Structure 1
Amino acid sequence: MTQHTPHPTSDPLGERRAWMAVLARAGADEIAALLPTLPPHERLRAPETGLVMVRGRAGGDGAPFNLGEMTVTRCAVRLGDAVGHAYVAGRDKRQAELAALVDAALQDPARHDALMAAVIAPLSAAQQAARAAEARRAAATRVEFFTMATMR
């Protein structure tokens, strides 16, 4: 199962949404291992941890309700003229800063294609492989239920 990433000119918001989803699911060590170098950048908002309210809907489309709170860490950095933002689940400040840095770098047309190939594509492939492995493990435990008609 491959995920198509559109070219930046076709849907820039959709593409940014896709790379941010990949970065939010990746660990700090995974991101750092794939980054060629960390360019000097300015912290606009240092990584900080807080809570957000997670909302749900009864039955998927019913009345909304507050499910509970979730810990998130956010960060904003400036790299040249681009500003990168990141919100990641949990308390990993390094992950939030690296994700924001990659977000800013990917907005630079000169770096975009190289970073997509060197960072986002490998992270996305690893995440898809992990999801596929989990699906196989779950499928192996699947139980087929059937109903027998009673005999007279």
Structure 2
Amino acid sequence: MSSTDAIAERQQWMAVLALAEVSELSAAWEAWEEKPQVERIRGPESGIVMVRGRIGSGGDRFNLGEATVVRASVRLSGGPLNEDAFGHSYVLGSNPDHAWYSAVFDGMLATTQLREKVQQAVIRPLQHAHELREAAALADAQSTKVDFLTFAREN
């Protein structure tokens, strides 16, 4: 696997973790049978980032506003792991548990021995749950859609 493929794969699982509900992450962690030991390296700690925008995807950048984020870094050891692994996360919002769980699963996914198991037991179900939420939101929005019909007027 090339480094570009590895980066794309990590971006995909981090997006799934970031979009997951905290209750789903908590349930996945509680259901995990052989947990590694988790040492907090950083945080979870909250901060503010500047959100930048660009008009028409090609115009000058401008500061759109500020957003709250939470970050966490953890070291995983013992349990099913042969060597230490590190996980990191930045999550939009202010829930420290969300960042912590995301960092833990990121660390587990960073190991070759746990990656497929975590993908199967955690990432794929979270992706499916997110897709169901998106479909429900789309259906809800579609139910309020108004079609305007315009007639050409002759004077």
User: Common fold, TM-score beyond 0.5?
Assistant: yes
Code of the aligned partner of 2:9: E
User: Does residue 138 of structure 2 align to residue 135 of structure 1?
Assistant: yes
Deviation at 1:42, TM superposition (A): 1.9
Partner of 2:58: 61
Mapped pair 1:122 → 2:125: yes
Percent identity, aligned pairs only, is: 44
* Cα offset, 1:46, TM superposition: 2.0
1:94-113 map, 5 Å: 94-113=97-116
Partners in 2 of 1:42 and 1:34 — Cα distance?
Answer: 19
Q: Partner amino acid for 1:98? A: Y
Instruction: Give me the whole-angstrom Cα distance separating, in 2, the residues matched to 1:145 and 1:28.
Output: 40
Aligned to 1:33: 27
User: Please, what TM-score do these two structures have when normalized by structure 1?
Assistant: 0.88
One-letter code aligned to 1:117? Q
User: Which residue number corresponds to residue 72 of structure 1?
Assistant: 69
Structure 1: tracts of 5 or more residues without a match: 1-8
Tell me the alpha carbon deviations over residues 86-108 of structure 1, each in whole angstroms, 9 at most, x when there is no partner.
00111111111110010000111
Shift of residue 120, structure 1, vs aligned partner: 0.6
Equivalence for 1:19: 13
Q: How many residues in Structure 1 have an aligned counterpart in Structure 2?
A: 144
RMSD (Å) for aligned C-alpha atoms: 1.5
Which has the larger displacement, 84-93 or 37-46? 37-46
Give 5+ residue unaligned stretches, structure 2.
78-83
**Partners of 1:106 and 1:59 in 2: how far apart?**
36
